[in-house]
Amino acid sequence: MEEANRSLDEVVLLDKPAGISSFGVVARVRGYWRRKLGIKKIKVGHSGTLDPFATGLLIILVGRATKKQDEYMHKDKVYEAVLELGKTSTTGDPEGEITQVSDKEISREEFEKVLPKFVGKIKQVPPIFSAIKIDGRRAYDLARKGEMPKMPEREVEIFSLELLDFNFPFVKIRTHVSSGTYIRSLVQDIGEEIGVGAYTKELRRTKIGDFSVEDVEDLQFYENKVEL
């Protein structure tokens, strides 16, 4: 195993589709290299989780490239998100329990007016349904068991936040953020600031540092190589 990991140093850029976890993508890439090299164990990691419902750029690190995982994970990122106003979700995304909290119709001007409040360094509380560890346990594992862990507030930076499309109750935004920023929390906070609630209906990561989703291999193509 060590010899195989020393001989490999590969960075794979993939466009993750919705409906598969980041771990699932890693498993497919690992399966390819296991078959190709005829070994059972090989180091494969990724540069930052995308939720199963989310799509977009996922950087997969193979062999010696896994030693650079922290370097990739700390790069800033660009996302495009579709918000649904007037509703909230227990998970902040379509996979949670959706609740109608307001019938008030918000105008494009009202929405745009609050965006500058979220640009710059801001305090943010990560979602309970996240991979953050609380006392050595994943927050989402605790939440699934009905526990309500207290999530630590963190400082993140929103470099830019722009409105791409407005068709109430659906709003599309693009945001350039620092590492560690949760878009689900950002959307929830925007909804609270406007006073009608919001959750992230769709999410797509388009950039990690200088890497763009336009330069990736499609996961289906990689699965074909893996011969699953």
Pairing of strands 77-85, 55-63: unpaired
- Distance between first and last Cα of the chain: 22
Distance from C-alpha of 124 to C-alpha of 187, rounded to nearest angstrom = 11
| Cβ burial, residue 220 (10 Å; 0-12/13-18/19+) | exposed
Whether 51 is a known active-site residue: answer yes
- Active-site pick, 15, 51, 93, 189: 51
- In this structure, the dihedral spanned by the alpha carbons of residues 228, 17, 46 and 78, taken in order and rounded to 10 degrees, is 160
Amino acid at 23: F
Q: Which residue has the tokens 């690992």?
A: 30
Among all residues, which ones are annotated catalytic?
51
